[in-house]
Chain A
Amino acid sequence: MVDLLDRKLLFVTGKGGVGKTTIGAALGLLAASKGKRTLVCEMDAKGDLASSFETAPTNFEEREVAPNLWVMSMDPEASLRQYLSRQLKFGRAASIGPFARMFDFVASSAPGVREIVTVGKLCWEVRERHYDIVVVDAVASGHIIGHLAAPQVINRRVQVGLIRQQTDWIVEILSDPRTCGALVVATPEEMPVTETIELIGRLEAETTVGLAGVVVNRVLPELFGTREEQAFEAVSEPLPSEHLASVLGGPVEPLFDAARLMVRMRRSRAAHLDRLREVLGPGREGTGAGLFYVPFLFLRSYGLRATSQVAAALAAELDV
């Protein structure tokens, strides 16, 4: 069993809209605060990572934004250029510029090539020990398999050439569960949970990357236990309500309605959580693929404040 942050390379994925970027950023923040040299890389350059850290837009050049914390965003073309200049000893990257563009055109149409260059760049940072941990704010569940299975696709299609020679060490890094893992983020809702379960199956069937865990994000609070719920029913009867209204200076119905809404919202989500627990339960002991809960944040705004609160919640869950 290996602790989440002891891995060197974490791909944070999940259905669109579940908060992958926030979780990735928070993990980065947490790792850095524990003294690890940390790189967080946003895979699709939407710019959400920069707003999670409230920093200037990220780009392909790694930049230190806090002690121990570097950020970058992936750029497949730049990555390819870097790769070519390193591998072919082409000297200055600029001299292969025009070819890189043409090559990128070929690569983006040929399955696996763009993906292997992207994943290769991340693995390279790990292999060269530039960082203690690389947290990847990865693409959504529909796309991540294409990235993580890229070495297999390449191996099947390509017999010789530099790209082929590269797949072995990349696979070695990706396949070692102590080094690399996929962390799937879900919210306790139908589609995110369904996609998570499907993704776990596909990770096993189509890639060599192990599941590092599932983060359940935006878990609503449980307001009442059974006794409290009965008491709540009694308090919301007409007489007690009137008493409260007269003391508080206005109707308390909105307050009760909000409590009922929260209870029902939490309850409808609980069934989805159960499905997740089932999948992650029996047979997975010892793999360390835990289920980590991050509460719904009742915050004024998003940004660094939210990121650090999520980091604190994760720290408690991970016991670090």
Chain B
Amino acid sequence: MTDRNDTPVTVEALLAAKEIVVVCGPGGVGKTTVAAAAAAMAACHQGGKVLVVTVDPARRLAQALGLRQGSGVERVMPRVFAAAGVVPRGELWAEMLDAKQSWDALVMRHAPDPVTAKRILGNPLYQDISGRFVQSHDYIAVERLYELHSEGTYDLIVVDTPPSRSALDFLLAPERVADFFSSRLLRLLTLPYRTRLADVASRPFYYLADRVLGSQFFQDIVEFFILFQTLSAGFVARAQEVERLLADRRTTFLVVGTLEAMPVREVEAFMDLLPVKGFHLGGLVLNRVLPRYLSDTGASQRANRLCSRAGKLAGSLCAGPMPGFDPDLIERVLKEVGTNFVNMGVVAKREAGQRAELAWMPSVVASVPELEEDVHDLVGVLEVGRHIWSWGGP
């Protein structure tokens, strides 16, 4: 189904038309599940080879799909689908990203020679940065995406984005890597020692850095920068290609959010930034939305009446269709039922308000209801998938 401008208006159509889907959004909204759901549905119904790259899936889900970190791309076996009662038309492949391993591979690729590569990999600062610091995941996820895409093995790649400090960090990651290498500061810092001494303007800086960081640590840092700079040309070229791929027409972004106040603000910031970066917003998936019947005004009036007349109603029930029951017990139950509906209605209405207040919406919007169970196997993944699949429009 497409609208007049031939823009896909369902997630199904969106996935059929694209090669890369980047699933992004604030933390804790269910990005990983939505990414897995989109990929599993595509593999089931559209066929071809579909790959989902995830960063940090729930352990039970990873186990259910047969995923292990650092083991590269693995196929989700047909028996897993069979256990979920599905015969997929295509193949589902998955990878759990290992940031450290990916950084190492990147260094090996861009280093001018094996000796330099080895020195970088052995540098303590490099080990700290690549292993310990999650910020480095931001870039590595898109870099890995680029690599997998350029292999040309998959018809569709769905990538789940890492938990950033802020969801926006992820979008800016390639740009930042490029900025880092081309910055004047880096050049200044990696000047040969003699040239540096001659440069009067930067001398106070070196004095300051020596005193604060200690000369040895500062030297370590400088040495690391000098080593790392040998990667510069390859890195920058690569970061630009990654950025181009993200902006390519074949790539689409699926923003995931919930209708709580804080995620909604981040979702808006995300949707605003995407076009600025030249990236294409494909759709919005609203996760954990309460069912519509909770905002029904008539039902909510009845719930209020149920609360206020609980005593009388309990009496008439026990005198009529519920003989032998304790009226006090029934009154308590009726009050709970009424109060609960009123309470849930407040939240459902608040969610509806948040949704109406979203300044703008992409043409593809899907809602996934609040599920009673955690998604921990393919059955759960496919249930989420069915909710996002064919439902278009707000």
| From A16, A143, A258, A264, contact of B28 by CB (8 A) | A16
Interface residues of B in 302-324 (CB under 8 A from A): 302-303, 305-306, 309, 313, 316-317, 320-322
Binds A, one of B13-21, B71-79, B103-111, B181-189: B181-189
User: B215 contacts the other chain (Cβ, under 8 Å)?
Assistant: yes
| From A157, A190, A251, A256, contact of B374 by CB (8 A) | A190
B124 near A157 with CB under 8 A, answer yes
Smallest Cβ distance from B372 to chain A, in angstroms?
A: 4
- The count of A-to-B residue pairs whose CB atoms sit within 8 angstroms is 233
Binds A, one of B4-12, B203-211, B271-279: B203-211
B321 near A243 with CB under 8 A, answer yes
Given contacts A191-B58, A264-B372, contact A46 B166 (CB under 8 A): yes
| From A139, A142, A247, A265, contact of B316 by CB (8 A) | A247
How far is it, in angstroms, between the C-alpha of A20 and the C-alpha of B194 when the chains are bound?
50
User: B334 contacts the other chain (Cβ, under 8 Å)?
Assistant: yes
Chain B, residue nearest A240 (CB):
B321
How far is it, in angstroms, between the C-alpha of A146 and the C-alpha of B134 when the chains are bound?
9
Smallest Cβ distance from B14 to chain A, in angstroms?
A: 25
A162 near B212 with CB under 8 A, answer yes
| From A18, A162, A244, contact of B313 by CB (8 A) | A244
A102 near B376 with CB under 8 A, answer no
Given contacts A102-B188, A254-B299, A255-B306, contact A262 B344 (CB under 8 A): yes
B293 near A109 with CB under 8 A, answer no
B317 near A235 with CB under 8 A, answer yes
User: A283 contacts the other chain (Cβ, under 8 Å)?
Assistant: no
A235 near B330 with CB under 8 A, answer yes
A143 near B165 with CB under 8 A, answer yes
User: A125 contacts the other chain (Cβ, under 8 Å)?
Assistant: no
- Chain B residues contacting A75 (CB-CB under 8 Å) are none
How far is it, in angstroms, between the C-alpha of A31 and the C-alpha of B127 when the chains are bound?
41
For the complex, count residues of B whose C-beta is within 8 A of A. 87
Given contacts A231-B329, A255-B303, contact A158 B217 (CB under 8 A): yes
User: B26 contacts the other chain (Cβ, under 8 Å)?
Assistant: yes
How far is it, in angstroms, between the C-alpha of A192 and the C-alpha of B28 when the chains are bound?
8
Chain A, residue nearest B372 (CB):
A264
Q: Which of A161, A164, A237, A243 has the most CB of B within 10 A?
A: A161
How far is it, in angstroms, between the C-alpha of A300 and the C-alpha of B208 when the chains are bound?
53
A254 near B341 with CB under 8 A, answer yes
User: A189 contacts the other chain (Cβ, under 8 Å)?
Assistant: yes
B214 near A190 with CB under 8 A, answer no
- Chain A residues contacting B266 (CB-CB under 8 Å) are 46
A258 near B344 with CB under 8 A, answer yes
User: A82 contacts the other chain (Cβ, under 8 Å)?
Assistant: no
User: B340 contacts the other chain (Cβ, under 8 Å)?
Assistant: yes
User: B121 contacts the other chain (Cβ, under 8 Å)?
Assistant: no
A248 near B305 with CB under 8 A, answer yes
A228 near B336 with CB under 8 A, answer yes
Given contact pairs A140-B27, A161-B215, A264-B372, a sample of 18 additional A-B residue pairs in the complex whose CB atoms are under 8 Å apart:
A17-B258, A17-B263, A88-B208, A105-B183, A105-B185, A106-B213, A106-B218, A110-B125, A111-B125, A111-B129, A112-B128, A140-B165, A142-B163, A159-B217, A162-B213, A231-B325, A242-B321, A250-B299
A-B contact pairs, 19 of them (CB 8 A): A15-B28, A16-B28, A17-B27, A102-B202, A103-B205, A109-B180, A110-B217, A140-B27, A157-B125, A160-B214, A160-B215, A160-B216, A161-B215, A164-B214, A190-B58, A234-B325, A242-B321, A243-B317, A251-B299
